[in-house]
C-alpha cells in the first residue's frame, strides 16, 4: 500500500511504539488519527489529529471513529491496535483489578476498535489492521500469566480475523515484539539505547513494512527480537 494520503488510526499514540508508529506513518505521507487517553506531547503536525478515547469503552471508540471520519474523511485505510498495558506478578495474590485492566485494554480494546472500522473497510473492500501483540503471546513466562494470557488472546483474535476478512480484501497482521525500550511496566528508557532491547522505531518500521507489502502479499505475522542478547 502506498501510504501517501491514506488515513490511519493509531491507538495509544502518546509514547513508545504508538508514538513511533504515528511519526513513521506521517513520514510516509499518511493522515494519522491518534486515539488515546493522553495526547502525545510535541507532536504538532498538520496531518496528525488527536482524539481523546479510552479504548476500553466501546462508546468512546464509536465516538472517536465518528469524529475521525468527520475530521479526516470517510475512508479508513489503516488501524493500528497498539494501546496496551502490562502488570507483572505471580498468580497467587495477583490483583483482580489489574487482571481486568489488562484484558479490557489488550483484548477488548482491539475488538472494539476493529468492530468500529470494519463496516467501512468492508464497504471499501480494502484496508489493513495491525494488532500489536508480543512474543509473550507465543510462550508463557513466570510472573507474566495475566499479560501472556491477553497477548495469546490477541494473537488468536488476529489469526481468526485474517481468515475472516481475507475474502473482503482486508489484511490483518499480528506484530509480536520481544524486549522494547519503552515505559512498559513502569520502566524508563535510558539516555543511551539499551543494546539488548529494540527501540520503538524498530517496531514502527516493521509495521510500515507490513503495510507497504505488495498487493499480492499479506504479512500475517511478524516476530521481532533484539539482535544482541545478554551473556550469562
The model's pLDDT over 159-202, given as tens digits with 9 standing for 90+, comes to 999 999 999 999 999 999 998 987 654 555 455 567 778 999 99
Select which of 147, 152, 157, 162 is catalytic. Answer: 147
Q: What is the pLDDT of residue 142?
A: 94
How confident is the model over 39-50, as a mean pLDDT?
96
Does position 121 have pLDDT exceeding 80, yes or no?
yes
- Which pLDDT score, from 0 to 100, does residue 188 have? 52
| Residue 231 belongs to some domain of the structure | no
- CA dist 228 and 141 (Å) reads 20
**pLDDT greater than 90 at residue 230:** no
Within a domain: 142: yes
Mean local confidence (pLDDT), 37-65: 97
Is 134 annotated as catalytic? no
**pLDDT value for 193:** 62
- Strand extents, DSSP E, the chain: 7-11, 31-36, 48-52, 78-81, 127-132, 170-177, 221-224
Can you give the pTM of this predicted structure? 0.93
The pLDDT score that the predictor gives to residue 196 is 76
Evaluate whether 9 touches 78 at the Cβ level (below 8 Å): yes
**Average pLDDT for 41-62:** 97
Structural domain boundaries, residue 93: 8-185+192-224
What's the structural domain count of the chain? 1
114 closest CA partner among 69, 166, 61: 61
What is the rounded average pLDDT of the residues 69-86?
Answer: 97
Query: What 3-state class would DSSP assign to 176?
Result: strand
Question: Is residue 228 very low, low, confident or very high in pLDDT (cuts 50, 70, 90)?
Answer: confident
Mean residue pLDDT across the chain:
94
The Cα–Cα gap between 168 and 95 comes to 41
Q: What CATH number is attached to the domain comprising 105?
A: 3.40.50.720
Give me the pLDDT at residue 61, please: 98
> Is 42 part of a structural domain of the chain?
yes
pLDDT tens for 127-164 read 999 999 999 999 999 999 999 999 999 999 999 999 99
Residue closest to 147 by CA, chosen among 181, 102, 180 = 102
Residue 229 belongs to some domain of the structure: no
What confidence score (pLDDT) does residue 224 get? 96
Residue 1 lies in a domain: no
Average pLDDT in the 210-216 region? 96
Q: Is residue 201 part of a domain?
A: yes
What mean pLDDT comes out for the span 59-74? 98
8 Å CB contact between 80 and 11: yes
User: Is 77 contained in some domain?
Assistant: yes
Give the pLDDT score at 181.
81
Give residue-wise pLDDT tens across range 182-191: 765 455 545 5
- Is residue 232 in a domain? no
Amino acid at each position: 500500500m502506498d501510504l501517501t494520503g491514506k488515513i490511519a488510526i493509531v491507538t495509544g499514540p502518546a509514547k513508545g511504539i504508538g508514538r513511533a508508529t504515528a511519526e513513521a506513518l506521517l513520514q510516509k505521507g499518511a493522515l494519522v488519527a491518534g486515539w488515546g487517553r493522553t495526547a502525545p506531547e510535541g507532536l504538532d503536525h498538520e496531518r496528525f489529529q488527536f482524539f481523546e478515547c479510552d479504548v476500553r469503552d466501546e462508546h468512546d471508540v464509536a465516538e472517536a471513529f465518528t469524529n475521525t471520519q468527520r475530521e479526516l474523511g470517510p475512508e479508513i485505510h489503516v488501524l493500528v491496535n497498539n494501546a496496551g498495558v502490562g502488570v507483572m506478578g505471580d498468580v497467587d495474590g495477583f490483583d483482580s483489578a489489574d487482571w481486568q485492566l489488562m484484558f479490557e485494554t489488550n483484548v477488548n480494546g482491539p475488538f472494539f476498535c476493529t468492530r468500529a472500522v470494519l463496516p467501512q473497510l468492508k464497504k471499501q473492500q480494502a484496508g489493513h489492521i495491525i494488532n500489536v501483540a508480543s512474543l509473550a503471546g507465543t510462550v508463557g513466562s513466570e510472573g507474566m500469566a495475566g499479560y501472556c494470557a491477553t497477548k495469546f488472546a490477541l494473537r488468536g483474535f488476529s489469526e481468526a480475523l485474517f481468515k475472516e476478512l481475507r475474502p473482503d480484501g482486508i489484511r490483518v497482521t499480528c506484530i509480536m515484539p520481544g524486549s522494547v525500550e519503552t515505559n512498559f511496566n513502569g520502566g524508563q528508557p535510558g539516555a543511551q539505547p539499551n543494546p539488548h532491547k529494540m527501540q520503538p522505531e524498530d517496531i514502527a518500521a516493521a509495521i510500515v513494512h507490513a503495510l507497504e507489502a505488495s498487493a499480492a502479499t499479506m504479512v500475517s505475522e511478524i516476530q521481532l527480537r533484539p539482535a544482541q542478547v545478554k551473556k550469562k
